[in-house]
Amino acid sequence: MLKARLDLHRLPRHVAIIMDGNGRWAQRRGLPRTYGHRAGVESLREVVRACAELGIGYLTVYAFSTENWKRPRDEVDILMNLLVEYLHREIDELCANDIRIHPIGRLQELPVSAREALEAACLRTRNNHRLVLNLALNYGGRTELVDAVRTIAQKVARGVLSPGDIDESTIDGHLYTAGQPDPDLLIRPAGDYRVSNFLLWQLSYTEFWMTTVMWPDFRRVHLLQALVDYQRRERRFGGLVRGDRSCSGTGS
């Protein structure tokens, strides 16, 4: 059993997922793309439940990018409706599992119905602590950095921040994910090998796990496989292999 192969003390604190492949999944079955989006909601439900059960503290899912507005109006509308439906349908279980909803992205540009559903979900789950579920909606890694830079620049203009004091923690603290650990593991289903404008700053040292499985087919077993593989990786963060100090400059 895969779960037995997991070291529960070395789980990633933060997992990020690019939920991709819904359209192709549907098209391969001769169905409209939107059927794939609906099927993808089931995968989300299963993965959220599994992360909470395992004790992963943060899960960030890419649900709608700043570039996804380029899609046909019908598809965008269905995605927004699915979001509202998901929040209404899942809210009780999210609360029962102690999960907090935290949307990230330019939320002010979402349709009113989506904004209202998100606000209600945030309010209802605000005191939950087991898992933070970051829903990336109208999210772009570049717009996130633009928004951070704007806020920082305003602080400089008001004289509450000096340019020389801006460091990495200043940028971190102005991202939508402020206060959260960076993702340890990024999962991308559907066989594409790119970041697609997701968490550009936060992914600096994230481990990537790609699969050709389409998101609607992604199940708990795939998550466990990703976690087992993750635990086999050696993360060096620019340093040396653990225990190998022969080349260490400081010897400390």
Residue nearest to Mg ion (CB): 20
Q: For residue 181, what is the DSSP state?
A: P
CA angle 231, 189, 8 (to 5 degrees): 25
CB of 49 to ligand IPE, least distance (A): 20
Whether residue 28 is annotated as binding a ligand: the answer is no
Q: For residue 11, what is the DSSP state?
A: -
Neighbouring-strand partners of residue 104: 136
Q: How many residues does the chain have?
A: 252
The tokens for 165 are: 């004091």
Active-site option among 7, 20, 81, 127:
20
Looking at beta carbons only, is 20 or 144 nearer to Mg ion? Answer: 20
Sites of contact with ligand IPE (CB under 6 A) = 18-24, 62-65, 68, 79, 190, 192, 194, 196
Looking at beta carbons only, is 66 or 125 nearer to ligand IPE? Answer: 66
The tokens for 98 are: 């102690």
User: Does the active-site annotation cover 68?
Assistant: yes
Closest to 196 (Cα-Cα) out of 109, 44, 67: 67
The tokens for 226 are: 């990703």
Looking at beta carbons only, is 194 or 233 nearer to ligand IPE? Answer: 194
Q: Contact with Mg ion (CB under 5 A): which of 15, 20, 100, 118?
A: 20
For residues 94 and 128, is the Cβ–Cβ distance under 8 A? yes
196 binds, among Mg ion, ligand IPE, none (CB under 5 to 8 A by kind): ligand IPE
User: Does the active-site annotation cover 172?
Assistant: no
Residues placed in the known binding site for Mg(2+): 20, 207
Active-site residue set: 20, 68
